[in-house]
Amino acid sequence: MISLQNSRDGLDRLREECGIFGVFDNSDAVALTALGMHALQHRGQEAAGILSYDGTHFKTERRIGLVGDHFSDENTINELSGNMAIGHVRYSTTGETALRNIQPMFAELNNGGFGISHNGNLTNALTLRRKMIESGSIFQSTSDSEVILHLVSRSSRRRLIERFIDALSQIEGAYSLIALTNKKLIGARDPLGIRPLVLGKLDGAFILASETCALDIIGADYVRDIENGEIIIITKTGLESLKPFQTQSARPCIFEYIYFARPDSIVGGKTVYEMRKNMGVQLARESAHDADIVVPVPDSGIPAALGFSQESVIPLELSIVRNHYVGRTFIEPTQKIRQLGVKLKHSVIQSQVAGKRVILVDDSIVRGTTCVKIVKILREAGAREVHLRVSSPPIIYPDFYGIDTPDQSNLLAANYDLEDMRRFINCDTLIFLSLKGLYLAMGCEERNVHKPQFTDHCFTGDYPTSLTDRASGVNAEQISLHFPKTDE
Ligand code: AMP
């Protein structure tokens, strides 16, 4: 039997990606950035940072913890100060957990100060890093994002924006970036637009953010999405859009709709909540079963369960309660305590489920940790039958674009067939949404096999970019990513 391991941090959950935010020309830039980051907290809860420019100096504050832990007090906001600011919330999808990896990252270049916030994951960062270390570069962090700063710094071009484009032309993978100089706020999205990035406006000031929920929190108007392969340069004189790379069709990550993005966000013109609900509707069409109640795994399973319930005309009950205050620090990193993880997080309203046939709806199965534990507590509470329905297809292939699932041996569906998974989870029946159903839910008649509309490699193995680091076998240890060598 294949053993499924916990994620690298020892917790029985995955890490998410990152959230980025930026404001140009507003006297409350820092406070607005803190608020925007707060709205993006679901994209990363490990660390948060802000870089601001006050007309003379760049200032930065980067802290481990939640946004509200450090960026809600007036002193911090006032000390940062300035009319321009960028922010970042992170989960460490690459680079170890350390203060030096917290973004925004900043460097003093020939052209002046330059800071970046990066969401996504580069697939050739280790290869580039190795080359640069060999030719004398000194890296300050273990994060893939620092590679971008080095490439900008080393570029032989003259103007900052040319150097930035030069840097982007050398990186592969997923990136949404917000950069800050003393005169500009710059937004950029990789040629496929894998990770989201939107443009907003508040009282004449331009805002850039990972998701529209970060515009809503500050009352900013949504202007538009930054397009795939687009670079937006915001200065006092307005906004300029560049498309320096060969045009490609957009392939946004479909997992943003399944799990990552907040349900109230509009990503690529589609309201995430509605897409999740559609997935539930489609799932019900594909996997009807007699039952007494439909129960979501909170929180991300709720919209799909609602769609399932409406389509199947089986009543929805919120019979699982999630404790939102289970923080990282609360869980001791021992195997015994780790096993308690989901019990600490979820409990069942017994009177709701005792003797009932339950359709349990979750948005995805990755390692299988969550559903195993939820099915167990439903049964302990007396559920007569548990039919698990998953509103996305089986995740079979690892991700290299910012979701922490790089090791295929950890993916339940990569190692078990459907019946083995059902037995492992101990549910009565198990059905996943089909790939076709997922595309239907997203409003596509079908997946275009020649030009897929979304990045969906988790389900299909169809990676939309080169995976240079993976193909060349370069890994962190080989290039002293964790600084173990001395003078040999
Ligand atoms: P697992 O417990 O490993 O099967 O992970 C699946 C559960 O985690 C589901 O309840 C999802 O809502 C949630 N989930 C899916 N993808 C991620 C991710 N990248 N990071 C954190 N949680 C996730």
Residue 377, C-beta contacts closer than 8 angstroms, at least 6 positions apart: 320, 342, 343, 346, 347, 348
Q: What pLDDT does 12 receive? A: 35
Q: What pLDDT does 13 receive? A: 39
What whole-number distance in Å separates Cα of residue 122 and Cα of residue 465?
Answer: 10
CA of 286 to the centre of ligand 1 (A): 22
Q: What pLDDT does 131 receive? A: 95
CA of 200 to the centre of ligand 1 (A): 30
Closest atom of ligand 1 relative to the 15 alpha carbon: 20
For the question of residue 18 being annotated catalytic, the response is: yes
What whole-number distance in Å separates Cα of residue 234 and Cα of residue 438?
Answer: 37
Closest atom of ligand 1 relative to the 255 alpha carbon: 16
Ramachandran class of 69: left when φ > 0, alpha when ψ lies in -120 to 50, beta otherwise: alpha
Q: What pLDDT does 92 receive? A: 61
- List 18, 213, 371, 458, catalytic entry: 18
Question: What are the residues facing 58 on neighbouring strands?
Answer: 53
Query: Can you give the pLDDT of all 488 residues of the chain as single tens digits?
Result: 222 333 333 333 344 479 999 999 999 999 999 999 999 999 998 899 999 999 999 999 999 999 999 999 899 999 999 999 999 999 765 556 678 899 999 999 998 999 999 999 999 999 999 999 999 999 999 899 999 999 999 999 999 999 999 999 999 999 999 999 999 999 999 999 999 999 999 999 999 999 999 999 999 999 999 999 999 999 999 999 999 999 999 999 999 999 999 999 999 999 999 999 999 999 999 999 999 999 999 999 999 999 999 999 999 999 999 988 865 444 444 556 555 555 678 999 999 999 999 999 999 999 998 999 999 999 999 999 999 999 999 999 999 998 766 689 989 999 999 999 999 999 999 999 999 999 999 999 999 999 999 999 999 999 999 999 999 988 776 666 665 555 54
CA of 219 to the centre of ligand 1 (A): 31
Q: What pLDDT does 402 receive? A: 82
Q: Find the length of the chain.
A: 488
Map residue 423 onto helix, strand or coil: helix
Closest atom of ligand 1 relative to the 301 alpha carbon: 12
For residues 264 and 275, the answer to whether their CB atoms sit within 8 Å is no
Q: What pLDDT does 98 receive? A: 77
91, 95, 99, 101 alpha-carbon torsion, rounded to 10°: -90
Q: What pLDDT does 463 receive? A: 97
Q: What pLDDT does 406 receive? A: 61
CA of 359 to the centre of ligand 1 (A): 19
Q: Which of 279, 370, 425 to mutate to test the pocket of ligand 1 (most atoms within 8 A of CB)?
A: 370
Contact residues of ligand 1, CB 6 A cut-off: 13-16, 259, 297, 300, 362-370, 403
CA of 402 to the centre of ligand 1 (A): 14
Which two structure tokens, joined as six digits, stand for 303? 């919209």
Closest atom of ligand 1 relative to the 370 alpha carbon: 2
**What domains are there in the chain, each with its CATH number?**
18-251 (3.60.20.10), 271-324+341-460 (3.40.50.2020)
Q: Which of 16, 364, 457 to mutate to test the pocket of ligand 1 (most atoms within 8 A of CB)?
A: 364
